[in-house]
Amino acid sequence: MIGIAESNTGVMDKTRDQIEIGNIQYLLASFSDMEGTLRAKLVPSGRLSSVCDSGAGFAGFAVGDLGHGPSDPDILCIPDLRSMTVLPWQKNVAWFAGTLTEDGTSWPFCPRTILLNVMEKAKKMGYEMHTGIEPEFFLVKENEDGSISPSDNKDISQKPCYQQEALMRNIDFLTTLIDYMDELGWSVTQADHEDANGQFEINFDFADALTSSDRQSFFRYMVRSMAEERGLIATFMPKPFSHLTGNGSHMHLSLWNGSNNLFEDIYDGKGYGLTELAYKFIGGLLYHAKAISAIVCPTVNSYKRLTAATTSSGSTWAPNYIAYGGNDRTQFIRIPESGRIEFRAMDGACNPYLATAAILAAGLDGIEKDIDPGEPFAGTDSISSNPIEKGNILPTNLKEALTALEQDDVIIETLGADFVNTFLHRKKEEWREYHHFVSAWEINKYLKGC
């Protein structure tokens, strides 16, 4: 893996030329916090060299759980020039994904650095992971009483998925978004109205794991910004409506060596077109499924998507079982075609860097330990009809997932013990906060009956 400083040296002249030709006046030196929220400083473009050399300084304690207290020195964000992204709606500003350092040393609480470390391990084993993300989101409006509803008042069908009328009523938003993405060189393949009212998905080309994570981070920022301009809210929240399908963030992935797809084998005896290497990777994902759930489904709300019995459309489209199978969208691991697999548990609340790092770490462990995924499962997304023993069900709440992560030495070591301990502390606080809060449901349910 080429270090950020070394990479910046190699592309500095090209970046300067792009800034000059594009009349870019400002730079966003940006990094992702633990929750996946982007933090940034606005830097005049003439300060490019100095911010790459010295970094943009941040008080770490002020931005959340980054292993810092108020008395600690600044953490420094070093922009990765390879990630330069000109804001399509504000063309005099360019965004840069950055990594964090302190006193010249990589900061172990930086999500992007954690992913880079796991990618470096993969590289030493001869692998590069390519990923393609399918982000789902809702466009909603806030009502006078503070509640939310789909922004399109006419989007009320019980089965709205792929509905052409609903798609076309949102044509301005979607085509503008597609134009922006193609302008950035992401090569959009398609967009659709998803299974829930007010829900959409955009698909674009796969890339190396780091580039895809950068793009997923920027995509969420871009969609939210576009919605705000229109007086709407774009949310990637896993389950904003109890009766509707939630927001997944499905990841299609494969391992490569140069131009060789190491997952593709058209002579696969199981008929899925995968290599033995791919099956071992799947084995690692299944083995570590409960632990990595805490990373890829990191909120209390995440498990209302995973464990929902049904929705108004008739299906949750979210996995319940720790299992894999063919072209079956109820699976934890789906095999849509030869040469790639789809990880379907990940949701819209995840930090893209941490989720990708956890998935890659689990898969690599499967390869190192020759973990057999067993036979594929022809399953269903209904918990009530689950034929698998309880041990093969995904965590049903955040607490269960955190307990599993606490007990998984491989994932802890790969992501970093200090980081995982901080993550666990923060998420346990979130769980306690949730249980201490008295909800409107409880008032309605118990106030007059107790």
The rounded distance, in Å, linking the Cα atoms of 358 and 352 is 10
Would residue 303 count as lying in a domain?
Answer: yes
447 in a structural domain:
no
Residue 75 falls inside a structural domain: yes
Say yes or no: 81 and 149 in one domain. Answer: no
Strand duo 75-79 + 260-261: pairing: unpaired
| Cβ atoms < 10 Å from Cβ of 35 | 16
- The SS3 call for residue 195 is coil
Structural domain ending residue among the three candidates 48, 75, 108: 108
- pLDDT, one tens digit per residue, over 399-409 is 999 999 999 99
Helix axes 398-406, 417-436, angle to 10 degrees: 160
29, β-bridge pairs: 41, 96
Task: Convert the pLDDT of each residue in 94-110 to its tens digit.
Answer: 999 999 998 888 899 99
In a domain, 367, yes or no: yes
Name which of 231-235, 250-254, 351-355, 374-378 the model is least confident about.
374-378
Own/partner long-range contacts of 428-433 (Cβ < 8 Å, ≥24 apart): 428/399, 428/402, 430/299, 430/300, 430/398, 431/300, 431/398, 431/399, 431/402
- Report how far residue 419's alpha carbon sits from residue 407's, in angstroms, rounded to the nearest whole number: 15
Burial class (CB in 10 A: 0-12, 13-18, 19+), 89: exposed
Q: Are residues 285 and 309 in the same domain?
A: yes
Is 330 a residue whose pLDDT tops 70? yes
Span 351-360, mean pLDDT? 98
pLDDT band at 391 (very low <50, low <70, confident <90, very high): low
Q: Given this model, what pLDDT does residue 211 score?
A: 98
The answer on pLDDT for 438 being more than 90 is yes
Residue 381 confidence (pLDDT): 46
Instruction: List the Cα angle 226/231/237 in 5-degree steps.
Output: 65
The answer to whether residues 149 and 44 belong to one domain is no
pLDDT above 70 covers a percentage of the chain that reads: 96
User: What pLDDT, in 10s, does the model give residues 213-249?
Assistant: 999 999 999 999 999 999 999 999 999 999 999 999 9
- The two tokens of residue 38 are 């982007």
Whether the Cβ atoms of residue 78 and residue 49 lie closer than 8 Å to each other: no
CA distance readout (Å), 306 to 65, 100, 300, 371, 384: 26, 33, 11, 25, 14
Tell whether 72 and 135 lie within a shared domain: no
Find where tokens 């400002």 sit. Answer: 26
Per-residue pLDDT band at 87 (split at 50, 70, 90): very high
DSSP E strand stretches across 227-332: 233-235, 249-257, 260-261, 324-325
C-beta separation of 27 from 51 below 8 A: yes
Average pLDDT (378-385) is 49
Number of domains making up the chain: 2
Residue 284 covered by a domain:
yes
What integer pLDDT is reported at residue 379 of this predicted model? 58
Cβ proximity of 256 and 128 under 8 Å? yes
Residue 207 pairs in a beta bridge with 131
Given 108, 129, 156, the domain boundary residue is 108
CB 99 within 8 A of CB 113: yes
In the listed set 78, 108, 138, which residue is the last one of a domain according to the structure?
108
User: Is residue 4's pLDDT more than 80?
Assistant: no
Any residues with CB less than 8 A from the CB of 280 and at least 6 apart, and which? 366, 367, 370, 371, 372, 373
- What range does the domain containing 13 cover? 4-108
Give the phi and the psi of residue 39 in degrees, each rounded to 5.
Answer: -115, 145
Strand 26-32 and strand 93-102: the pairing is parallel
